[in-house]
Amino acid sequence: MLQAVMAAPHEIEFKEIPVPEIKPEQVLVQIKRIGVCGSDMHVNHGQHPYVSYPLIQGHEVSAKIIALGKAVTGLQVGQKVTIEPQVYCGECYPCTHGKYNLCEDLKVMGFQTIGTASEYFAVDASKITPLPDGMSYDEGAMIEPLAVTVHACKRSGDVKDKKVVVLGAGPIGILLCQTLKAYGAAEVMMTDISDYRLDLAKRCGADYVYNTKHVDFAKVVVECFGKDKADIIYDCAGNDITMGQAIANARKGSIIVLLAVFAGMATVDLAKLNDSEVDLYTSMMYRHEDYLEAIRLVEEGKIQLKPLMSKHFDFKDYPEAYHYIDNNHETTMKVLIDVDGDEG
């Protein structure tokens, strides 16, 4: 089979290797689609602090089961699936208290352990989540980022009837907006510095969109929500400017959720945060129940994934996908790698 190896930053090599043999508790899947995310781009640029080269990328994925290990039950050959890419110890405090997404020795496929960028992939059956027959492989590869936003919604408690601000209209921000609305948020306001991304956010359900290069954030929050401002602010951009806006303009006693990953050390006004007794929460990846919720929301038509699918590349054109994203950063949402051309 063919495997894509990132030998060094900006350097992808293709190797012919044997199709892996499976252990009794594993399944063999044929990879169909791989989504490219911002963290993958950091790896490509040599800017990810927790990887070493060479590595095999691929963690947003859809696939078809080809073979089952002798000990595997509850799955079928031919079934559409996605893979949950967390590899955790199962023994540390977070793992033994239901929070394996916070494992003290967490590894993620495509980063600290082998990813799915190959034609076939052997994986523990426990990492497999079946997809509905009617879900496309394109949609299946986007369940992983959607699970991120499902988990983030839960971090702030019940969002029903809440007024929410989402800072950053990238793929995660727009998926978060849709997830908030699916869970009953009353109104969602989104900000960004790209009119293209804000227009897409509006088409995907945002009630208000503002380009903060041209408007005063403090002013438009009050214009949208009144003097009591927002109940929750999510930072999906992850920089001093957006977190500064959140802290300075959060209603006293309200909630801020940091979903984005800061590239470096933050410089923010903790004195103001403390003075306002604002709850600052964070959100890290997801758990199995978040995958199931993400699938349900797509099945019920509450989440639009297709508007976020920017472009497809064949597997052999993996390097060109990275060039495309670099050259079209503002207008690119989700690039999908077609490992197999099956449209099902």
For the domain that residue 224 is a member of, what is the CATH number? Answer: 3.40.50.720
Written as one letter, the residue type at 150 is: V
> Is 24 found in the same domain as 8?
yes
pLDDT digits (tens, 9 = 90+) for 124-146: 999 999 999 999 999 999 999 99
> Is 322 found in the same domain as 232?
no
CB 31 within 8 A of CB 119: yes
In a domain, 296, yes or no: no
Q: Within 13 Å, how many C-alpha atoms sit on residue 92's CB side?
A: 12
> Is 88 found in the same domain as 204?
no
> Is 18 found in the same domain as 99?
yes
Mean pLDDT for 200-226 is 98
Domain range for 17 is 2-142+305-338
- Work out the pLDDT band at 344, boundaries 50, 70, 90: low
Mean pLDDT for 326-343 is 91
Written as one letter, the residue type at 297 is: L
Pairing relation of β-strands 208-211 and 120-124?
A: unpaired
> Is 183 found in the same domain as 54?
no
> Is 118 found in the same domain as 26?
yes
In a domain, 66, yes or no: yes
pLDDT digits (tens, 9 = 90+) for 165-212: 999 999 999 999 999 999 999 999 999 999 999 999 999 999 999 999
Question: What is the tally of structural domains in the chain?
Answer: 2
In a domain, 314, yes or no: yes
